[in-house]
Structure 1
Amino acid sequence: MTTVASIREQDEAITVLTAYDAATAELVEAADIDVILVGDSLGNATLGYDSTLPVTMDDVARATDAVTRATDDTLVVTDLPFLSYGVETAQSLENAGRLLKESGAQAVKIESGPHTVDLTERLTQLGIPVMAHLGLTPQHVHGIGGYTRQGTTEERAAEIIDLAEAHQAAGAFSLVLEHVPREVGKAVTEAVEMPVIGIGAGPDTDGQVLVIDDAVGLSASVPPFAAAFGDVRTEMREAIEAYRDAVVSGSFPAEEHSHSEGLDL
């Protein structure tokens, strides 16, 4: 069983994938992935939004419910969605606690900045493990001007390193580092003892995370820092078309798909 404590001590590269439903979570666990992230990326991946901003607490709680019902041994971490934290401390703590107490997550992930250091410390004091998130933080898409690479200057890279160290000191057990130059990924990983999990942060981090739709080839397009390890989109399209053709031609349902009671009607 993967736990927050075991992730801190793991020597092998840490593997993380998102999942938003029970069927996917079951497959991810069967593949021995270390961590399932119930990301607010479900807004883009499954809910049809153009960003993560519309995702609600109910959305992530429902997805977390499904994932934790389907898993036993995988560490489940859930995103706190936009404006569910950082506005009022009490509300932030309540929302984070809900995901552990009611939905069964073992930790929460917070898109981090100077404003989340104190919150991270308070959450961990209450027994709510925190995965920090630096670099590209999609909830700040409007403020940073799009989904652009972060830490591209020495000044900005230094700020990311400082924030990583501050969140480690505040009690974060790990860090997601997104869409930064590989040298920043390496520098952050060397600067902190907590595991750094990269996504578009180069090969020198302690692990990697991808959105499941990108990893299996379900997404219509894959970000430049991701890779498709399958072609599920084509497989699904071909299966759907085959179903359509079978129904139209009358070959489905066949005799073996039907049951008779021999009724005289």
Structure 2
Amino acid sequence: MKDSPEYKAELQDLQRELVLLQQDVVKNNKRLLIIFEGRDAAGKGGAIRHFTRHLNPRGMRVIAMPKPTEKETGQWFFQRYFLGLPNPGEIIFFDRSWYNRAVVEPVMGFCTPAQYEEFMGQVNNIEKMLIDDGIQIIKFWFSINRTAQQNRFEARKSDVLKQWKLSTVDALAQEKWDEFTHFKEKMFERTHTLSSPWVIVNGNDKAKARLESIRYVLAKSDYEGKGQIGTRLHPDPKLVRPFDLDYLVAKRKSDKL
């Protein structure tokens, strides 16, 4: 699909709408924060590149935090992330975010149980304060099945252009699949709120995931000239959907039977 003329035309139309969205953000001093979380190799980075390809770099930033320094480990956990919050007239893309502490860190043993609980007890209130202050937050979780993840890891190993993507976490992603699932579900259950919901993106097909996640942002945003390009703005609910807490609760009950 990604090499078809139809896909390329559709992508460009959606990117034109993103330019209109950014122009409105700049003109009206809006602040938009889009968080990209998900399984390793689920397509977060590629999606961000397609979001940002034609945006004005003066009105947007991509934040991909490295491992914290010794000084940063002694700070309040959220402190370094706050430096990346959007200024008026700016769109920020978080390539992973403070939610590292909700999933990756407890699975990999990078934080203590007390640090994990402290984060989980604070994050909803912090996001509410940011939203109350006028920041629009969209939280994506890019999902992928186990086979697709393994295939993408193998492709990275054999392609020198992709080897930089491999990490220690990648090496253990398959081995710790169930642990990641456990903490992912706990994160959804405790941090999915009406004002800051989690949005699940099916990342098994990268091309479709890119199109539909762009559509979601456009559908959830108000901006001058919206829809004038003429392409579909509402995402396919089979590929992009809000997290369903009722489904998770029912699933856990059935697992106990």
TM-score, normalising length: structure 1? 0.32
Normalized per residue, the structure richer in helix is 2
Question: Which structure has the bigger radius of gyration?
Answer: 1
Normalising by structure 2, we get a TM-score of 0.33
